[in-house]
A = this chain, B = another copy of it.
Amino acid sequence: MKLDEIRRAHGGNLDNCPVRDVLANLSGKWSSLLLIVLAERPRRFSEIRRLVFDISQRMLTQTLRELQRDGYVHRLVVPSTPPKVEYSLTPLGHSMFQPLLALIEWADQNHMAVREARDRFDAIAE
């Protein structure tokens, strides 16, 4: 794909633009972290909460709903007492997670380079 095609997809067609429309919902504070947890294996609500221990209950519910709405996450309710709810990645979710994982691995490997760039920038600016 050519870069100018991607760029032009944005012009004149703002709400439909894939970059804006799709990536926007992956850009939240918690989305990628929840996807990492669910890509490993299906998890229950309380399990996810323990793993991402500083997320509030409100944001966990809300972010899972958004990911479910976009078709990345499946929500399975097991009616029992107490109720169980299991979250898992859909095929679409797994498909999307492949390129996302590449970006996550880049972040992991180049974390220090970014931090050093920041320190240099801040040192000059003072």
Residues of A within 8 A of B (CB): 1, 3-4, 6-7, 9-11, 14, 16, 18-24, 26-29, 32-33, 36-37, 39-40, 51-54, 68-71, 92, 95-96, 98-100, 102-108, 110-111, 113-118, 120-122
Contact = CB atoms under 8 A, between A and B. Distances in A.
B18 A70 contact: no
Report whether over half of chain A's contact residues are helix, strand or loop; otherwise say mixed: helix
A110 B122 contact: no
Given A4-B40, A40-B4, A106 B96 contact: yes
A10 B33 contact: yes
A89 B35 CA distance: 29
A33 B51 contact: no
Contacts of A18: 104, 107-108, 111
9 contacts: A1-B105, A7-B37, A9-B108, A10-B52, A21-B107, A21-B114, A71-B121, A92-B117, A99-B102
A99 B99 contact: yes
Contacts of A116: 71
Nearest to A30: B20
A15 to B, nearest CB: 11
Contact of A110 (B32, B37, B69, B92): B92
